[in-house]
Amino acid sequence: MLLKKLFRTLWQYKAQFISMVIMIALGIGVFLGFNIEWYSLDVSTREIYDATGFADYRIFSDRGFTPEDLDRIRSVTGVDDATRYLSINTAVQGDTDVIALTVSTNMNVSGILLMDGAPYDETDPEGIWLSDSYAAANGKKIGDPLTLSYQTISVKGTVRGLIKSSEYLICVPDETQMMPDYTSYGYAYISPAMLDAAIPDMYRLFLGSSLYHQINVKSALEKSDFVEKADQALGTTRLILSRDETISWAETQGEIEEGQTMGSILPVLFLAIAILTMVTTMHRITASEKTQIGTLKALGFKDRRILRHYSCYALIIGLLGSALGIAIGYGLGRFILSPDGAMATYIDLPAWPLYAPAFTWIVIILINVFLTLIGCLSVRRMLAGTAADALRPYVPSRVRHLRMEESRRFKKLSFSTKWNLRDLLRHKSRSFMTLFGVIGCMVLLVGGLGMKNTMDAFLDIFYGKAIHYQYRVNLDTGSVTNEAAFRLADELDGDWCAQRAVQIGDKGYGLEIYSVTRDKVRFVDPNLNLVSLKDDGAYVCTRIARTWNLKEGDSLSFAPYDSDEHYTVRVAGILSSMTESVIMTSAAADRAGIPYTVSVIYTDQPDIPSGAHVLNTQSKKSIMDSFNTFMDLMNKMIWLLVIAAVVLGIVVLYNLGVMSYTERYREMATLKVIGFRDARIGRLLITQNLWLTFLGVLLGLPAGIGVLQYLLTALASEYELKLVLGPATYLISILLTFGVSLCVGLMISRKNSSIDMVAALKTEE
């Protein structure tokens, strides 16, 4: 019989129950979704790292490594395996595409994962194993011929297999390109035998067997330990990058950490609101059920049975919310992680299985236990004392005199102001919850829209203004001389840059030396203003400045790799940069005596002379095109956040609004009897909502900015983002929040017309 009562009561309080289920579902959904996202990414990336032997360290040398060098590294204690490795950007013949041609002498390290076609054969003189994503984007199939050229060398072969490789998990030519664009850039592996066959005899005489500019190593040694041992084994200091310093590892770890951050902030917000609303709702429901609870007690039902019965309401809400939340969580996970999903446009994984970390299930169980406990405690309060005590209707807290009531100004306030003010203070938990809901709504809106503003400003300044060229011409630093590069720069009416790898402490960074006389490259300060470089020192990006606690005027020491020299320069300023670099003018570099070779020319001229020194050309358009995918992804996420904010606002405000309406039903019936019109009573209700919304907006705005700043700080290792909020964000966030509040208020106030004055006033107070 009690079961029938259970379902009928659920139906009676359906608005509250449904909104609670939605709140719990949203909380659990967001919690599970983001945790599934980072955890699945973590598991899947580890799987491909293991399957393809992702290297722990990369040792670089412009002069290349011989088989003897490899043996020396292999013999280092603590090194598990190693390979000589080559990755060079080559042009696809008959196309403008660029493919990173890759050779690994030992495919156990930095190898491949076959997706389709013939397995890798190290003796195959013509076999090309091509990135399956590049093949899909360009209509390449197994068996297709492919010719890749590098300077005067051509590698002609046939596509034998389609592959993935963890070395190219995020397949971008360099850090300036944010998103992969497989229509124009991919990678391919060939065998060392094929590479050997492709090298003309003359080159072979010149290069010997030192074509491989990298040794990739699997080792569990600490970096400092490894660097010391590797340098000792090779007899010289080399640029050694750990996997943390590679784009693939750093960016995927960044995504994982981002997911962890999102998986901790947003769910806390949703779950906190859900649980606090649950406390308020369960208290109100059990309060209005008090006489029924008393009746059951008076009839002889044991307290334990009544507790169990009413706790079931909370448990049912929890279970339904959890079931729906789990579905939402997996849906959100699938939305982000799927072959057609958002993340697949960024990270090139072979499969997208979803895994939920074990702790999420424990948390979901604990949430259900906690919700049931909330229900149990709410009923216990109503059950306290004798059966006669329990039978008495619940009496809300008494209205207390406020200190401000003494003031003249208060006395002059209108009836509705006094009524609402005292009601807010009388029902503090309900008021607080409404406020919390509005703040949550605001935080999501400001966070979501603010993130878009911030990214827009970031893209606008870096790619709209700082990149003031149309083409970026990459030169072959192995063959080009500075004189030839200067001539080419003049010919192309361009500016130039020399890039080197340097070490500050034990960390590797880029050193970029610029000569900007034709305004093709511009620089951005941390406040996103364009600045000109001065010749009195070096600039560091904000990430370097933060890591090494540098400020303008400090001294900075760095050592270029492949050199025993150390250079100390004054920090001329801090810049915001896409790459983690030290930046200086050529004049400053000359003054400091830093040698360099020009590696890039920036120009507007489309006709780039093909010469021995030109490696390849990247157009600004191709870089910008890759952002469209990124911005699509960003826009989808923002839409999700805006929808979540609106749902959160509606659910919380409606639930608490209905509660407020129910609690004040009798008062409103009285007003109606006295002669107040429905519209007037409706305005009373809406006014209270609007007050709380106003306060919620005031508090939610800085809270949203704070959360956004926290997110940007969490992303700081990937991007140098500066928080930017446009007027439209303020306007949309405020208007949408007020809009939601007003709509919910109107929905509730419409109920006024159906107030049964007679029945309401007959009820005992």
Q: List residues binding other proteins (CB under 8 A).
A: 396, 398-399, 401, 405, 415, 418-419, 422-423, 426, 666-667, 669-678, 680, 753, 757-758, 761-765
Q: Contact 715/254 with Cβ under 8 angstroms?
A: yes
The span from the CA of 457 to the CA of 448, in Å, is: 14
**Rounded to the nearest whole angstrom, what is the least distance from the CB of residue 643 to other proteins in the complex?**
37
Residue with tokens 């009195």: 536
Q: For other proteins, give the closer residue by CB, 334 or 683.
A: 683
Q: Which residues contact 455 (CB under 8 A, 6 or more apart)?
A: 631, 634, 721
**Rounded to the nearest whole angstrom, what is the least distance from the CB of residue 428 to other proteins in the complex?**
13
**Rounded to the nearest whole angstrom, what is the least distance from the CB of residue 656 to other proteins in the complex?**
17
Q: For other proteins, give the closer residue by CB, 734 or 755.
A: 755
Q: For other proteins, give the closer residue by CB, 205 or 758.
A: 758
**Rounded to the nearest whole angstrom, what is the least distance from the CB of residue 677 to other proteins in the complex?**
5
> Comparing C-alpha atoms, which of 61, 97, 280, 79 is closest to residue 171?
97
Q: For other proteins, give the closer residue by CB, 237 or 288.
A: 288
**Rounded to the nearest whole angstrom, what is the least distance from the CB of residue 415 to other proteins in the complex?**
6
Q: Using alpha carbons, list the distances in angstroms from residue 384 to 171, 303, 323, 402, 765.
A: 66, 9, 33, 30, 20
**Rounded to the nearest whole angstrom, what is the least distance from the CB of residue 407 to other proteins in the complex?**
13
**Rounded to the nearest whole angstrom, what is the least distance from the CB of residue 36 to other proteins in the complex?**
47
Enumerate the β-bridge partners of residue 145: 158
Q: In 568-581, which positions are buried (b, 16+ CB within 10 angstroms) versus exposed (e)? A: ebebbbbbbbbebb
> Comparing C-alpha atoms, which of 77, 67, 107 is closest to residue 219?
77
Q: For other proteins, give the closer residue by CB, 201 or 764.
A: 764
Measured in degrees and rounded to the nearest 5, phi and psi for residue 481 equal -105, 160
The span from the CA of 724 to the CA of 457, in Å, is: 7
Q: For other proteins, give the closer residue by CB, 546 or 680.
A: 680
The span from the CA of 151 to the CA of 476, in Å, is: 9
Q: Which two tokens stand for residue 751?
A: 């109920």
Q: For other proteins, give the closer residue by CB, 591 or 680.
A: 680
The span from the CA of 544 to the CA of 22, in Å, is: 45
Q: For other proteins, give the closer residue by CB, 96 or 753.
A: 753
**Rounded to the nearest whole angstrom, what is the least distance from the CB of residue 754 to other proteins in the complex?**
10
Q: For other proteins, give the closer residue by CB, 358 or 674.
A: 674
Q: Which two tokens stand for residue 228?
A: 């010391």
Measured in degrees and rounded to the nearest 5, phi and psi for residue 616 equal -165, 175
Residue with tokens 């199939």: 141
Q: Contact 567/503 with Cβ under 8 angstroms?
A: no
The span from the CA of 686 to the CA of 692, in Å, is: 10
Q: Tell me how crowded residue 222 is: count the other CB atoms within 10 A of its CB.
A: 11
**Rounded to the nearest whole angstrom, what is the least distance from the CB of residue 339 to other proteins in the complex?**
57
